[in-house]
Amino acid sequence: MTGHEPNPALAVNVRWELLAANRAVGLFLGDVAGEWAGPPFNVLRATLHPDGLSRRIRNLAQWRAHVLRRVRRQAERTSAAGLAELLEELEGYPVPRTDAGELSTGRPEDDLVVPLRLSSEHGELALLYTTTVFGSPRDVTLDEIAVETFFPADPRTAALMRAAAGWT
């Protein structure tokens, strides 16, 4: 995970429970705490819970809709134990309103590239993510692991992330 720094990267299992993370993930999850956060620490619960990271997500309506569609597709494809229950819980969290006051569900056709716009102590971050999964696992436990890496979506965010990591 350290090889991804200064970009945040984390490894999760099929139920989105945190397995490993680099120091840069502290930009996201450093102030997330509460009984609902775990253990095990569930990344999606921590992200979308009203007392979690969602308080700092500037495009929460868009991000929430994107994440829920992604988990719904994952549940349909894998039928992984606990995933349907997690999805039901996440869908039960409050639905944010857009600036126009409308409830937002987002559009599936917009899911290809959805930025995460996050307020941080270093300023607003605009991030894009990639997911790495193991395509030909030799071990059944590897089949459940995904690595999520967040990259700067603009030069300002890149500079902020380098500064936060102590890079010049």
The pLDDT value recorded for residue 18 is 92
Per-residue model confidence as pLDDT tens digits over 57-69: 999 988 999 999 9
| Pair 63, 44: CB distance under 8 Å | no
> In 3-state terms, what secondary structure has residue 51?
coil
Which residues contact residue 55 at a Cβ distance below 8 angstroms, ignoring those fewer than 6 apart? none
The pLDDT value recorded for residue 150 is 94
The pLDDT value recorded for residue 93 is 93
Question: Global pTM?
Answer: 0.84
Q: What angle do CA 118, 161, 48 make, to 5 degrees?
A: 25
Domains and CATH numbers, the chain: 2-164 (3.30.450.180)
Mean pLDDT of the chain: 84
CA–CA separation, 56 vs 122, rounded Å? 12
Per-residue model confidence as pLDDT tens digits over 10-23: 999 989 999 999 99
Which residues contact residue 157 at a Cβ distance below 8 angstroms, ignoring those fewer than 6 apart? 124, 125, 126, 127
